[in-house]
Structure 1
Amino acid sequence: MRILIVGGGVLGTLHAWQAVRRGHDVLHLEREPEARGASVRNFGLVWVSGRAPGAELTAATRSRELWEELGAQVPGLGFRANGSLAVLRTEAEHAVAAEAPGDRGFTLLDAAETRRLNPALRGDILGALWCPRDAAVEPRTAQPALRAWLAGTGRYTWLPGREVRDLTGQGVLDDHGERHEGDQVLLCTGAWLGGLVRELTGDLPVRRVRLQMAQTEPLGETLTTSVADGDSFRYYPAYRGPALNALNERQPQPPAAAAHAMQLLMVQRLDGGLTIGDTHDYAEPFPFDVTEEPYEHLRRVSEAILGRPLPRIVRRWAGVYAQTTDTSQVVHRRQVAANAWLITGPGGRGMTCSPAIAEDTAVAVGL
């Protein structure tokens, strides 16, 4: 078949990969010259550890397998199986880690064991929760690298700078007045929920979430794992239970972290710099500028864990992603026409779960 994919982010690109690997031809349309949304404004984390049991964990686990397979084929993805450490600085955080589910491959480490695994963590810590299943890719280069690999198959065409304005019985019509024919149309439009998407669906059970992040100069040493702080327990569903309830009651977040719904996630880029974040803002309209207070909090926590000054921040940015409000679903997927499906709303798990989401779409659509 000939598959038309609308949306050049990670979700659309992984759908293109699934279609090509199943023997189909793909035309991939993107309204911008290059994907600029949450797919490149994220940590690049393949994060299995914190996922909710059930469909979310299944998707994350399967995606972890597919990312490793892809990483071997496409070195430009920058895939590395570096694992993660959720660093523990208080007894309340340690209690949550001790209750962590047993199906993630977790190991609870003391401070000395943590530093042997990641010598860059020289701060005052009690230990860490180690998850070897977590991994990372390079978000700024992953999509271009995968597209270049797909183009080499002879079954893939990338067509940026084209906004799809309408569905036809045979494909789509773009804003240049050109018609593109295909057997199936997959709309992977990310946080863009207006225009044609709204016309086709009306109101969606999907909300938009804004986050702030930053990148530093090179650390000057290797951060051997991805790193999270104890606040990450508050935002990932895997850790819900009595110990987390006690943490929330007895150890409230600092005012800045609470006001911006923050956790610390830290991952080292291939150039040695650190990506740090993040915040969560759910109230639209979102501000057009970034706020400095969260960065000051991230610096304090990062320096407490590293036991050294954080390298100079060289980039700050905000991003917006779409998140399904149906907590039982990993993504919102619906058929919007006889020949078209909408796939959106993976939320903050988009980079993690896109390979499995695309695989499930291929089954649902019959590719």
Structure 2
Amino acid sequence: MRIVIVGGGVLGTMHAWHAVRRGHDVVHLEREAEARGASVRNFGLVWVSGRSGGPELATALRARQLWEEIGAEVPGVGFRGNGSLTLVRTKAEWLVAEAAAAAPDAAERGWRLLDAEQVRAVNPALRGDFLGGLHCTLDGAVESRVALPALRAALAPTGRYTWLPGREVRAAGTGSVRDDTGEVHGADAVVLATGAALGGLVKELAGPVPVRRVWLQMAQTAPLGEPLATSVADADSFRYYPAYDTESLRTEQPQPPVAAEHGMQLLMVQRLDGGLTIGDTHAYAEPFPFDEVEAPYDHLVEVASALLGRPLPRIERRWNGVYAQCLDPAAVAYRREVAPGVHLVTGPGGRGMTCSPAIAEQTAEELSW
């Protein structure tokens, strides 16, 4: 088959990966010179631990396996199975972690509850004040800023992969795609993996879709000066991920005002250069702000420093981003045939980097590639 994929982010790139691996010819179009959306503006986390039970967890577990296989084949993606620690500092937070560790699927998720001494044995860089942490041995990370070029470089020698950046698609239908240079690309199948870009051609073909856009702020610090052995989260992540029962936390321990206003959790992962990516916030009401505000960064620095037990290295870069989130809680992504042979795949939300290898594999299987 000849497959045309529109969108150079991680979801589009993973569709290209699976298509080429199945022996098909792929033309991969991206409107920018390089992907610049949510696929590179994220933590690079492969986050299994907090996923809701059922299809979401199954998809994340399969994706974790695929990331490990891809990482072994393409070292440039920077995959490491470093695990994560969600640290708890109060009794209410401890009870949430304790219940999670006792859940029937705790072993499947790689969960175990550690006291403070055990946390420091797993991750000696954490020298702050906390009661313990929920350890997830299955969580991992990749280098989101370099993973996509590394994957494309691995596909190029096959002779079945053509990367065409700087091409905006103007028309897609049965058997062909036309880009803004006027070139027409023949296609047996077309995948629109356009992320949060839901206007233009996507709107023309699909109309309104049950997908919302989410805006967030993040930052990266100077090198920590020592290894951060695991990714780290604070207990506000319990409020954000669906795997946890947080009713008591919501009633007994309201979030600090800044964290509540900006829908915050602390996630922290060390890059291969030693710096720390920290975040994040969530905003759902459009139009989104065009400026970043300092109060969330102040909160992140305060919490991260408290868990590390020393000042966080200075922030060197700040950014914001927008991702697409499917509104159906039972769906991991929104997948729909919007014209004969043209499939829109979008809306994985904050699961995009984690789940994209498995989402793309599901597309390939559903379409009998």
Same fold (TM over 0.5): yes
The CA distance in 1 between the partners of 2:273 and 2:183, in whole Å, is 41
Give the aligned partner of residue 279 of structure 2: 277
Q: Secondary structure at the match of 1:32?
A: coil
Matches within 5 A, 1:92-171: 92-100=92-100, 101=103, 102=106, 103-171=108-176
Give the aligned partner of residue 185 of structure 1: 190
Equivalent position amino acid for 2:327 in 1: T
The CA distance in 2 between the partners of 1:265 and 1:178, in whole Å, is 43
The CA distance in 1 between the partners of 2:174 and 2:226, in whole Å, is 56
In the alignment, structure 1 residue 50 sits paired with structure 2 residue 55 = no
Contact 2:45 2:139 in 1 (8 A): yes
Alpha-carbon offset, residue 169 of structure 1:
2.8
Alpha-carbon offset, residue 365 of structure 1:
1.2
The CA distance in 1 between the partners of 2:136 and 2:157, in whole Å, is 35
Q: Secondary structure at the match of 2:158?
A: coil
Give the aligned partner of residue 334 of structure 2: 332
Alpha-carbon offset, residue 178 of structure 1:
1.1
User: Which aligned segments of 4 or more residues in structure 1 are displaced greater than 6 angstroms?
Assistant: none
Equivalent position amino acid for 1:359 in 2: E
In the alignment, structure 1 residue 297 sits paired with structure 2 residue 302 = no
The CA distance in 2 between the partners of 1:115 and 1:167, in whole Å, is 54
Query: Deviations 1:279-320 (Å, cap 9, x if unpaired)?
Result: 000000001111111000000000110000000100000000
Q: Secondary structure at the match of 2:39?
A: coil
The CA distance in 1 between the partners of 2:182 and 2:309, in whole Å, is 58
Give the aligned partner of residue 30 of structure 1: 30
Equivalent position amino acid for 2:199 in 1: G
The CA distance in 1 between the partners of 2:299 and 2:280, in whole Å, is 10
Number of residue pairs aligned between Structure 1 and Structure 2: 364
Give the aligned partner of residue 67 of structure 1: 67
Percent of aligned pairs with the same residue?
A: 70
Equivalent position amino acid for 1:32 in 2: E
Q: Secondary structure at the match of 2:307?
A: helix
Give the aligned partner of residue 348 of structure 2: 346
Equivalent position amino acid for 2:325 in 1: Q
Q: Secondary structure at the match of 1:159?
A: strand
Query: Deviations 1:146-173 (Å, cap 9, x if unpaired)?
Result: 0000102211110000000101432101
Equivalent position amino acid for 1:155 in 2: R
Alpha-carbon offset, residue 58 of structure 1:
0.5
Q: Secondary structure at the match of 1:218?
A: coil
Alpha-carbon offset, residue 363 of structure 1:
1.1
List alignment gaps of at least 5 residues for structure 1.
none
Give the aligned partner of residue 358 of structure 1: 360
List alignment gaps of at least 5 residues for structure 2.
none
Alpha-carbon offset, residue 90 of structure 1:
0.6
Give the aligned partner of residue 80 of structure 1: 80
Alpha-carbon offset, residue 338 of structure 1:
1.3
The CA distance in 1 between the partners of 2:308 and 2:159, in whole Å, is 47
The CA distance in 2 between the partners of 1:176 and 1:104, in whole Å, is 47
The CA distance in 1 between the partners of 2:35 and 2:59, in whole Å, is 24
Contact 2:174 2:342 in 1 (8 A): no
Matches within 5 A, 1:242-253: 244-253=246-255
Matches within 5 A, 1:224-263: 224-240=229-245, 244-263=246-265
Q: Secondary structure at the match of 2:243?
A: helix
Equivalent position amino acid for 2:64 in 1: R
Q: Secondary structure at the match of 2:203?
A: helix
Equivalent position amino acid for 2:306 in 1: A
The CA distance in 1 between the partners of 2:160 and 2:216, in whole Å, is 36
The CA distance in 2 between the partners of 1:178 and 1:150, in whole Å, is 23
The CA distance in 2 between the partners of 1:168 and 1:179, in whole Å, is 11
> TM-score with structure 1 length normalisation?
0.98
Tell me which moved more, 302-311 or 99-108: 99-108
The CA distance in 1 between the partners of 2:318 and 2:142, in whole Å, is 20
Equivalent position amino acid for 2:124 in 1: P
- Of 312, 317, 322 in structure 1, the residue corresponding to residue 314 of structure 2 is 312
Give the aligned partner of residue 222 of structure 2: 217
> TM-score with structure 2 length normalisation?
0.98
The CA distance in 2 between the partners of 1:127 and 1:31, in whole Å, is 46
The CA distance in 1 between the partners of 2:349 and 2:168, in whole Å, is 23
Q: Secondary structure at the match of 1:341?
A: strand
